[in-house]
Amino acid sequence: MAGDRLCRMVSAGHAAAFPTGAPPTASWDHLDQYAGEGLMVLLGPVSEPLRALSADRADLAERLLEPWRQAVGAGLRLEVVCWGAVRHRAGLRAPGRAHVHSR
């Protein structure tokens, strides 16, 4: 069940971080162990792949997304954020210049 795997992944992240006092994170090993059907991973605008898209580097974004695709598969989601569109010579874009690539 996805809810159980999510709970275990969050617990594993906290357990790994506790001894050092670091913020809890999910490692690639945690993703390999707990990701699967019904569990989604959301990459936000400060993730490396989406920062590459914001810099008009779709080629780099594709390379950076590949490990996520391998680990998460169909459960991978990209967060689209708009803090108010501004006019750009190529059309309307958000201030961070993020735009959607169809892949």
Query: Please, which residues have CB within 8 angstroms of residue 12's CB and are 6 or more apart in sequence?
Result: 26, 30, 33, 34
Contact call for residues 32 and 18 (beta carbons, < 8 A): no
Whether the model clears a pTM of 0.85, i.e. scores above it, the answer is no
Q: What is the pLDDT of residue 90?
A: 52
Query: Please, which residues have CB within 8 angstroms of residue 22's CB and are 6 or more apart in sequence?
Result: none
Q: Domain segments of the chain: what residues? A: 1-39, 40-103
Q: Per-residue pLDDT for the chain (103 aa), expressed as one digit of tens each?
A: 888 999 999 999 999 999 999 999 889 999 999 988 888 999 998 999 999 998 999 999 999 999 999 999 999 999 988 766 555 555 545 444 444 444 4
Q: What is the pLDDT of residue 37?
A: 87
- Give the residue from 53, 33, 37 showing the smallest Cα distance to 45: 53
Contact call for residues 29 and 13 (beta carbons, < 8 A): no
